[in-house]
Amino acid sequence: MNMLSLGPKPSPISEFLNQRGYSVIEYNDLIDTLFLKKQDIDFAISYRYRHIIRPEIITYLDGKIINLHISCLPWNKGSDPNLWSFLEDTPKGVTIHYVDSGIDTGDIIVQKQVVFDEEKETLSSTYDILNNEIVQLLKDNWKFIIRGEGPRIKQKGTGTVHNSRDKEPYQYLLAEKGWDTPVMNIKGLALPKRD
């Protein structure tokens, strides 16, 4: 079976898939159906992929394309989910979902909430933890995902969605330490002020 791993190289999921006998192509550029046909792709996994997956790709793969997202959907769809989970103090976690035509709006296959020691963690350390969690979640659930037995749980509520420009007003918070900023220093700072 030919797997397409969409996202930065090297992907931490490729070794896992190779060990199970799959042929894996890692790709981080835009794709089209011609690419999928030429590579004879059977299944695709999007993980940290920065491009919008077009509807014709979704139709072509017909339910055989999933996304690994480091947020507790429907919270923090789109860019920088880890950052926004602290800025807006929303649930933290990881989600594997089917890809649909929206941005991180597809039906959930499996999800896990993650609790951090916010007194000790930074944006960088929480990002690393979430990425380890999402890879492990894929490994733990791979057998039923690849067999097409994953549930289709509709996302409840509207949650939040962000693009990369949304963080510009908060960049000053990261000026001194960047991604090593303690999460307690930014917790809830994007929430509306209350009287």
| Residue 112 pLDDT grade (very low, low, confident, very high; cuts 50, 70, 90) | very high
Q: What pLDDT is recorded for position 89?
A: 97
pTM: 0.95
Residues sharing a CB contact under 8 Å with residue 164, sequence separation 6 or more, in sequence order: 79, 80
CA–CA distance, 114 with 94 (Å, rounded to integer):
7
Active-site residues: which are they?
Answer: 69
Q: What CA dihedral angle connects 60, 27, 166 and 76, to 10 degrees? A: 60
Spans of all domains in the chain: 2-69+93-156
Q: What pLDDT is recorded for position 193?
A: 65
Assigned fold of 2-69+93-156? Rossmann fold (3.40.50)
Please state the rounded mean pLDDT for residues 144-149.
93
Q: How far is CA 189 from CA 88, 110, 154, 172, in A?
A: 7, 29, 30, 12
Burial class (CB in 10 A: 0-12, 13-18, 19+), 112: middle
| Residue 52 pLDDT grade (very low, low, confident, very high; cuts 50, 70, 90) | very high
Q: What pLDDT is recorded for position 191?
A: 86
Q: What pLDDT is recorded for position 192?
A: 76
**What does the pLDDT look like over 60-110, one tens digit per residue?**
999 999 999 999 999 999 999 999 999 999 999 999 999 999 999 999 999
Element (H, E) at 37: helix 33-39
Q: What CA dihedral angle connects 61, 76, 130 and 143, to 10 degrees? A: -30
Whether 3 shows a pLDDT value over 80: the answer reads: yes
Of 73, 60, 65, 13, the closest CA to residue 44 belongs to: 65
Contact by Cβ (8 Å): 112, 184? no
